[in-house]
Amino acid sequence: MIYTDPVKYDPFKNFGAGRHVFIQSIFYSILLASILVTFLEKKKRIYPIIIFIFLGVFAIYNTNLSWMDISSTQYIYQGNNLYLDYIKKIATNFKPGDTVVVGPTLNHASVYVNDFIVPSSVSFISAPEDIQKILNNDKKTIYVIDVDYNPTSDGYYLPERVKIIDFSKFYQEGKLDLTHWGEKPIKYYESLYNIK
């Protein structure tokens, strides 16, 4: 069992692309190489042909897996793209010392935003312990932005359903409580491997 943020990932139940299954992939590669050498050692003439066929099947199969993975996670990138566009649009509203609270899925994109789009004196936070520190600050200096992946009723995530939600007005009016912000499970990660 490998513990990753935010869920437990078992490489013996979930096999696919990614760093979590690298050790398992090496094992399968060694096993395949052993089988090839054992059964084809005396047939040196057809050995390169068999290897070429295996490599062809491997490349075609993995290319298909890669495209399926890209398609299944496209909504995440769509959310990041919408977030960057939205931040560029409102960047002039930020003043030095302002804080932007973002949902956990937008945290990595916020590093880019903080480096290249908004002044470095604007803080982007997502972790619950960081949010607890700013709860007593002036509400007018805090912006709250998250992404809604808006899954279908069947549980599918589609890029065209993704939208950015600005909760800043609700928070500044006292209608939004941030004490448990960022503690929700990250559903998109769980959905990638059908982990419940």
Question: Which range has the worst mean pLDDT, 33-47, 85-99, 147-161?
Answer: 33-47
Helix axes 47-90, 22-40, angle to 10 degrees: 160
Model-wide pTM > 0.85: no
HEC per residue, 162-175: CEEEECHHHHHCCC
CA 117 from chain center: how many Å? 21
Query: Could you tell me the pLDDT band of residue 196, with boundaries at 50, 70 and 90?
Result: very low
Question: Which range has the worst mean pLDDT, 17-26, 133-142, 167-176?
Answer: 17-26
Q: Identify the residue whose tokens are 């960081």.
A: 130
CA distance 118 to 139: 19
pLDDT at 129 over 80: yes
Q: What is the pLDDT of residue 189?
A: 42
